[in-house]
């Protein structure tokens, strides 16, 4: 579940945020968040926690998001029939 989240950050959130702050401010914020992360979770804490969550997702059967993602979208309430096939790489 983290991969789609990360992809959204990399392709939508961070590029938009770069338009709001200077490079220096962005880098400074990155350092601040890195320090908070290390303080709260220890060195390499993020990777450790992300791996634990991935293991939990696998054990509980929610690791593969495609099982929850619709493959067809139909809008019939508007008196139009729009069906879009969506293909996701696993």
Q: Is residue 49 part of a domain?
A: yes
Tell me, what's the pLDDT at 1?
65
- The per-residue pLDDT for range 35-68, each reduced to its tens digit, is 998 999 888 888 888 899 889 988 998 888 777 7
Contact yes or no for 39/50 (Cβ under 8 A): no
Please name the helix (run of DSSP H) or strand (run of DSSP E) that holds residue 48, with its range, or none.
helix 45-59
Please report the beta strands in 1-90, taking only residues with DSSP state E, as ranges in sequence order: 72-74, 83-85
Residue 42: give the domain boundaries. 1-7+24-69
Higher pLDDT, 81 or 5: 5
- The per-residue pLDDT for range 6-36, each reduced to its tens digit, is 888 889 888 999 899 999 999 999 999 999 9
Tell me, what's the pLDDT at 84?
52
Q: Is residue 2 part of a domain?
A: yes
CA–CA distance, 78 with 48 (Å, rounded to integer): 47
Number of domains, the chain: 1
Tell me, what's the pLDDT at 85?
53
Contact yes or no for 90/64 (Cβ under 8 A): yes
Q: Is residue 52 part of a domain?
A: yes
Contact yes or no for 68/83 (Cβ under 8 A): no
């Amino acid at each position: 579940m983290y991969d789609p989240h990360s992809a959204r950050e990399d392709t939508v959130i961070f590029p938009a945020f770069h338009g709001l702050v200077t490079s220096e401010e962005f880098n400074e914020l990155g350092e601040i968040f890195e320090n908070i992360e290390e303080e709260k979770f220890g060195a390499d804490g993020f990777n450790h926690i992300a791996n634990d969550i991935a293991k939990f997702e696998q054990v509980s059967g929610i690791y593969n998001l495609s099982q929850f993602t619709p493959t067809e979208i139909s809008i019939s309430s508007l008196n139009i029939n729009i069906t879009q096939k969506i293909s996701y790489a696993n």
